[in-house]
Amino acid sequence: MDAGLGRSIFTLSVTDADLDPNGPPFNYNIEGPNSNEFYIDGEGVIRSAAGRHGRGEHHLTVRVFDNGTPVLYSDVAVTVRVVERSSSPPIITPLSTTVTVSGDDVFPGGIVGRMSASDDDAADRLVFAIVNDADRRLFDIDSVDGTLRAVQGLDVGDYTVNISVTDGQSVRYAVMRLSVEGVSEDATESAVVVRLNSLTAEEFVGHHMTSFVLALESQLHVRNTAIKVSVTVECVV
C-alpha cells in the first residue's frame, strides 16, 4: 500500500467467534521498532505519523485485543510502502493487430496482442482495464501486463477496444484495433508452417510477431500487407 504523510493508510477488518461481551469492542496497538512512525485508532485505522518516517517499506506488527476475560489477542503483519507522489501521467501506445482465419471461419479466441504503457515515475504501478462494458463481453485484459485476449469466437470483421491505464492518480486511454481477416483456399494451400518449439503463442504474439513479419517482408521482397500470419497452439497428448 502507498502512504502519504499524516494520512489514513489502511483499515483492519477484525472478526471474533465469541459473542458479546467477550468479542468487540476491540483495542489495537502497533508493536515493534516502527511503532512510533505510525499509529492506529480505535476503529482499526492505521495512520502515518506526519514527519516521522521516510520512503521505502515499513513492516509493522498490529496487535488486536478482544474484550473478553481473560483478554486474548492476535497479531497481524502489515507492510506499508511509502513512495513519492506521482509527478507524471502514464503513456499508453495504441495497438493495431490482425488475425487471419480460413475463409469465413470464426477466430476461436485467444491472445490478440499486448498494450504497451510506460511511466516516468519508477515507483508507480500501472493498471490496465477495458473501458466499455460491451467490449468486456468479447475481450479481457491482464491488468498488470496489458495482454489482451478474445474470450469468445470472433467473426471476420473489424473490432475496436478502448483501453485505459492508470498509475493511481492519472488515467490515460488508447485504442486497440483488431482485424479478423479470412483468406482464400488458394492462400491456405500455399501457406508455410513454422514451428517454434521453445516459444509460447503468448510470447510470440506479444513480443515477436511484428519483427517476424518485417523479416519476411525483407526476405521475400513483398509488402507486409501481403503477409498473413496465423498463430496455432499445438497440444500433444
Residue 218, CB half-sphere, CA atoms under 13 Å: how many?
6
Q: Which of 174, 128, 164, 133 is nearest to 147 (CA)?
A: 128
pLDDT attached to residue 106: 83
CATH match for 8-82 among 1.10.3470.10, 2.60.40.60, 1.10.390.10, 3.40.390.10: 2.60.40.60
List the domain boundaries for the chain.
8-82, 91-226
| pLDDT tens digits along 138-191 | 999 999 999 999 998 888 889 999 999 998 788 999 999 998 887 776 666 667
pLDDT attached to residue 4: 44
- Altogether, the residues listed in the chain come to a count of 237
Q: SS3 for 161? A: strand
Topology alike, domains 8-82 and 91-226: yes
Whether CATH 2.60.40.60 fits 91-226 = yes
Element (H, E) at 204: none
- Residues facing 150 on adjacent strands: 110, 139
pLDDT attached to residue 215: 85
Q: Using CA atoms, how far apart are residues 93 and 173, in angstroms rounded to an integer?
A: 9
Under-70 pLDDT residues of the chain: 1-9, 34-35, 50-56, 83-86, 103-104, 122-123, 185-190, 201-202, 206, 224-226, 228-237
Q: Using CA atoms, how far apart are residues 137 and 153, in angstroms rounded to an integer?
A: 11
